[in-house]
Amino acid sequence: MRNGLIILTCLLVAAGAAFATGETEAGSDDGITLQAYHYLDLTNEITTSNWDELMAGWEAANPDITLEFEFLFNEPYHDKLQAMAVAGQLPDVMFLWPGKRTGYVTGAGLIKDLSPWVDEVADQFAPAAVAPQGPNGEMWELPEQVTATHVMFTNAQLLDELGLEFPATVEELIAQGDTIRDAGYIPIAMDNGDGWQMQSTFLSALVARTGGRDWLDAARTGSASFEDDEFVDALQVIVDLNDADMFSPGVNQAAYGEALTAFSTGQAVYFIDGGWRTNELVSLMPEDAYTYVDYNVFPALSGSEAIPASSAIIAGTGIGMNAELEGEIADAAWEWIYFFAGPVGSEIKAGQGWLPAVQIALPSDIPPLLSQLAGFLNTTPGGYVIDGVMDAEGMGVLHPAIQEMMFGNKTPDEVAAEYEAWVAANDSSR
């Protein structure tokens, strides 16, 4: 990862492709132009169509502020953001995570504290969305939503067809495997080709059960260890499911989106992903999908659980600005940040199937699946998302180690020891 980052940085500098705040224009006649780096899957027609609608609203409301975008998605987004940070060529505004997922910029003094602006509008947002993100109360980005990274979407129609019920325990789930596969279905649709999916949407929820927030707080600060049973036992659940052929075939090579397709087309009984997939399910599935798609969490594990029946929940992503911005340029950047997560942009996104962090009345014709997600978020307890509280660079160790574990090349104890060694030597929380 380090060598790849250095190479990418050199390429950016040589090609002159990186952003620079010095290129921002602030003219009385032409208005202000901001360089923007955004996280968007341009191959997904649903998300790009939704984006076009959002941008039409922005342009109508802010004709004097022009945003010049570059888009990337998944790990390439993070690789380039890190490279731009190393090269000292961050854009004016960029898509960020509230925790350590983008800590390589937010924790390095490169992102402006938004709290002076946020304080003026905080009463418009859910409390979890405007909780401090930095050690001194800083707000690096304004979350567009509060999100559950783990939902076990369930096709109850297929369960009925197979004579099954949602399992109460992991053992009952594994026992369903033969019946589901013999009928030609995938037990649990997941794609882990990028590595983060198994950690963010599943392992984090498992650790909430085995250890909870208190244990993870202790592990990240050094009074506990990732070699403890709490972490090893959570990894072992993944191994048990993998050994029982419960995941999608080729799960560790599958591109993000393949599991969504499998579930939305009725090829899988269960689908593990984040709650953010709801708006795509609304678009991809039949209109009556709400009558048979259930929102669940993973079944109970053996023994007592730290946070029973829990998910992993985090304040959502949003837009932040370069720390170098000042004056009218910073104010223009804030206009984009607030539009994206605030009432106007959120009203547009709510109509697309999002649950915004800002407190607005949801549309009267809100899709029923979105109502189910709202109920899920209101009633489901949650633990931490691991990459939200641990340094992002460590995910370059943990993610491939989990994949190797699923290939049978490493044991849960070995994965835990490898990650603990990295955290002890490098993570900023230690």
Residue 115 CA to residue 59 CA, distance in Å, equals 25
pLDDT at residue 27 greater than cutoff 50: no
pTM, 2 dp:
0.76
Query: How many other C-beta atoms can be found within 10 angstroms of the C-beta atom of residue 27?
Result: 9
pLDDT the model gives residue 19: 53
Topology alike, domains 2-145+316-359 and 148-313+382-426: yes
- Tell me the pLDDT band of 111, cut-offs 50, 70 and 90: very high
Q: Which of 151, 186, 167, 165 is nearest to 259 (CA)?
A: 186
pLDDT the model gives residue 353: 66
Q: 148-313+382-426 architecture in CATH? A: 3-Layer(aba) Sandwich (3.40)
Q: Are 205 and 312 in contact (CB under 8 A)?
A: yes
- Mean confidence (pLDDT) of the chain: 91
Query: How many other C-beta atoms can be found within 10 angstroms of the C-beta atom of residue 256?
Result: 18
Q: Are 314 and 98 in contact (CB under 8 A)?
A: yes
Three-class secondary structure assignment of the chain: CHHHHHHHHHHHHHHCCCCCHHHCEEECCCEEEEEEEEECCCCCHHHHHHHHHHHHHHHHHCCCEEEEEEEECHHHHHHHHHHHHHHCCCCCEEEECCCHHHHHHHCCCCECCCHHHHHHHHHHECHHHHCCCCCCCCCCCEECCEEECCEEEEEHHHHHHHCCCCCCEHHHHHHCHHHHHHCCCEEEECCCCCCHHHHHHHHHHHHHHHCHHHHHHHHHHCCCCCCCHHHHHHHHHHHHHHHCCCECCCCCCCCCCHHHHHHHCCCEEEEEECHHHHHHHHHHCCHHHHHCEEEECCCECCCCCCCCCCEEEEECCEEEEECCCCHHHHHHHHHHHHHHHCHHHHHHHHCCCCCCCECCCCCCCCCHHHHHHHHHHHHCCEECCHHHHCCHHHHHHHHHHHHHHHCCCCCHHHHHHHHHHHHHHHCCCC
Q: Which of 223, 275, 291 is nearest to 429 (CA)?
A: 223
End-to-end CA distance of the chain: 21
**Residues for the chain: how many in total?**
430
pLDDT at residue 6 greater than cutoff 60: no
- Tell me the pLDDT band of 28, cut-offs 50, 70 and 90: very low
pLDDT digits (tens, 9 = 90+) for 284-301: 999 999 999 999 999 999
Q: Which of 212, 97, 205, 101 is nearest to 151 (CA)?
A: 205
Residue 393 CA to residue 427 CA, distance in Å, equals 8
* Lateral strand order in the sheet of 151-155: 186-189, 268-273, 151-155, 293-296
pLDDT the model gives residue 17: 44
pLDDT digits (tens, 9 = 90+) for 380-422: 999 999 998 999 899 999 999 999 999 999 999 999 999 999 9
Q: Which fold, 2-145+316-359?
A: D-Maltodextrin-Binding Protein; domain 2 (3.40.190)
Residue 87 CA to residue 75 CA, distance in Å, equals 18
Q: Which residue ranges make up each domain of the chain?
A: 2-145+316-359, 148-313+382-426
pLDDT at residue 131 greater than cutoff 90: no
